[in-house]
Chain A
Amino acid sequence: MYDVLIIGAGPAGLSAAIAAREWNLNVLVIDEFLKPGGRLLGQLHQEPDGKWWNGIEESKILLEKAKELNTDIRCGISAHTIEKTDHGFSVYTNEGILEAENLLIATGAAESPAPIPGWTLPGVMSIGAAQVMTNVHRVRVGKKGIVVGVNVLSVAIAREMQLAGIDLECMALPAINSATESHGSPKKVMKALLRIAHLAPSTAIRFGSRFMKGDGTKALAVKFFPKSGVKMWGMPIHLRKAVTRINGTNQVESVTICDITADGEIIPGSERNIEVDFVCIAGGLYPLAELAAVIGCPFQYIEELGGHVPVHNEQMETPLEGLFVAGNITGIESAKVARAQGTLAGLSIAKRKGQNLAKLENQIQQAKMNVRTIRENATIQFHPGIEKGRSRMEEAYYDIVHG
């Protein structure tokens, strides 16, 4: 019986493990990937101050710290079911059943598809898969590709692929259908991008820094609507072109791309084919919360947080006694926020174990402040309404627990 079982060895899970080990808790961290670090392993981008954020280095720092504290981390283990027991939780995995008094679910986020005709052909992948192949496995995803879907994440990853020497034709939107609407409408995509324009001239990924100087909003609006698109690091980003079809017999051979109106309607006669051998689809991220759903944790649908999120409070506790959450499962934010949330969750779990209260309470307050500060100082927000989403979750927790 562990004091705490942590599912997910990303920035949230590892930080939580460190905090819990510092309070001498009996901790086990499991992760279904073959090595720890989570999505940190794929991240590589330049910060506004010019420094590089290297996720592999960041994960090494966390891992070394965890190892110094003799933390038990096991990879290649997938949890498929969780049950509440009298003393805590039974977690069913591909390696057997694990028992713990407290459980932290730090499973991060998953990608939504943006289904267009031909998206099931070999050679089509999610943008996150391309990131893992490029930066984690160091496998070249193809000779020449195209990114379908323009958002903060896909722009950052397109840049990473470019740095790795992979040839990308351009980025464009998916053709609109009822499953892709929010990603296929130039106006909606534009609006989402404009919400990060106030961060110009230099955002974390230098998104459009060249053309957002001065009145960033207007400049971006004007620049993004021309049919020629805008170039970033030499690669065109098109908001007025949509990929209507991915073509190929046994694998991707080309895509069909069309000009579109500001509402995303296809302009007849504008179609042409572009030869590519891979396609990256970017449909955005959502909190990966299946395990919290299976165990019966209540949920809230909060768009600002990325979708359905397990109800939790600022200390990362859920209404289910002993069940905690941290990282992207609580809302889509940066790895830095996830890391800070993990520390807070680890401390909250130590508190539940009845550790030295005055000192611990002090640390918890500091960790809470730290999460807030990091969130406020974030240069890139996946959703600009994140603070609003967070306070709605606080209210929901209060209503459910104290109702």
Chain B
Amino acid sequence: MDRIVICRCEEVDLEEIEQTLINYQCSMREIKLRTRAGMGYCGGRTCRPALNAILEKVSGEKQPHQIPLKVQPPVRPVSLGRIGETNYE
């Protein structure tokens, strides 16, 4: 079958995510830690909905109210210099 990239930043494909979900019966956090899906430059902004859909399909369970893959700041790319800043302007 053709390779389907899910996490573009870390180049993790669908097969690897599905296999990891099946082998470890794990949470989205564990998927992230095992495959690096969602850990790249964009912070999971691109693949998060796809990851949620895959989890829903493979586990057969509806998504929980809590967001499956915790959103971590910064939610936009920002330079380290900016993060270290304490004063406005």
- CB contacts (< 8 Å) of A308 on chain B: these are 63, 65, 67
> Given contacts A80-B78, A120-B5, is CB(A97)–CB(B57) below 8 Å?
no
- CB contacts (< 8 Å) of B46 on chain A: these are 113
B87 at the interface (CB under 8 A from A): yes
B1-39 CB contact bits vs A (8 Å, 1 = yes)?
011111010000010001000000000000000000000
- CB contacts (< 8 Å) of B74 on chain A: these are 80-81, 92
- CB contacts (< 8 Å) of A180 on chain B: these are 53
Closest CB in chain B relative to A33 CB, distance in Å = 13
B30-69 CB contact bits vs A (8 Å, 1 = yes)?
0000000000000001110110111001100011111100
Number of inter-chain CB pairs below 8 Å: 104
State the majority secondary structure of interface residues on A: mixed
| Chain B interface bracket (under 10, 10 to 19, 20 to 34, 35 or more) | 35 or more
- CB contacts (< 8 Å) of B76 on chain A: these are 32, 78-80, 94
With beta carbons under 8 angstroms apart, the residue of A119, A182, A294 that contacts B75 is: A294
Q: B2, A245: Cβ atoms under 8 Å?
A: yes
- CB contacts (< 8 Å) of A81 on chain B: these are 73-75
Q: B2, A112: Cβ atoms under 8 Å?
A: no
**In the complex the two chains form, what is the Cα distance from A366 to B62 in whole Å?**
37
Binds B, one of A206-214, A283-291, A379-387: A283-291
- CB contacts (< 8 Å) of B14 on chain A: these are 115, 177-179
A165 at the interface (CB under 8 A from B): no
Q: B18, A178: Cβ atoms under 8 Å?
A: yes
> Given contacts A96-B89, A177-B14, A245-B2, is CB(A113)–CB(B65) below 8 Å?
no
A304 at the interface (CB under 8 A from B): no
A3-41 CB contact bits vs B (8 Å, 1 = yes)?
000000000000000000000000000001000000000
- CB contacts (< 8 Å) of B58 on chain A: these are 178
A299 at the interface (CB under 8 A from B): yes
A236 at the interface (CB under 8 A from B): no
A136 at the interface (CB under 8 A from B): no
A111-146 CB contact bits vs B (8 Å, 1 = yes)?
011011111100000000000000000000000000
> Given contacts A116-B4, A299-B66, is CB(A307)–CB(B88) below 8 Å?
no
Q: How many residues of A contact B (CB 8 A)?
A: 41
Q: A179, B50: Cβ atoms under 8 Å?
A: yes
A47 at the interface (CB under 8 A from B): no
Q: B75, A290: Cβ atoms under 8 Å?
A: yes
With beta carbons under 8 angstroms apart, the residue of B5, B54, B75 that contacts A80 is: B75
- CB contacts (< 8 Å) of A98 on chain B: these are 88
A110 at the interface (CB under 8 A from B): yes
Q: B88, A96: Cβ atoms under 8 Å?
A: yes
- CB contacts (< 8 Å) of B5 on chain A: these are 115, 119-120
> Given contacts A110-B45, A308-B63, is CB(A181)–CB(B78) below 8 Å?
no
Closest CB in chain B relative to A174 CB, distance in Å = 10
A52 at the interface (CB under 8 A from B): no
Q: A177, B4: Cβ atoms under 8 Å?
A: yes
Q: A179, B78: Cβ atoms under 8 Å?
A: no
Closest CB in chain B relative to A290 CB, distance in Å = 4
- CB contacts (< 8 Å) of A307 on chain B: these are 49, 52, 63
Which 10 A-B residue pairs are closest in the complex by CB-CB distance? Answer: A117-B2, A80-B74, A112-B49, A81-B73, A293-B71, A178-B57, A290-B75, A80-B76, A179-B50, A96-B88
Residue numbers of B with Cβ under 8 A of A are 2-6, 8, 14, 18, 45-47, 49-50, 52-54, 57-58, 62-67, 70-78, 82-83, 85-89
Residue numbers of A with Cβ under 8 A of B are 32, 78-81, 92, 94-99, 110, 112-113, 115-120, 177-182, 244-245, 283, 286, 290-291, 293-294, 298-301, 307-308
Not counting A80-B76, A301-B63, A308-B67, a sample of 14 additional A-B residue pairs whose C-beta atoms are within 8 angstroms of each other reads A81-B74, A92-B74, A94-B82, A95-B89, A97-B85, A97-B87, A115-B50, A120-B8, A179-B54, A181-B53, A245-B2, A283-B49, A290-B45, A307-B63
Query: What are 8 sample pairs from A and B whose C-beta atoms fall under 8 A apart?
Result: A81-B74, A110-B45, A112-B50, A179-B6, A291-B75, A293-B70, A294-B75, A307-B49
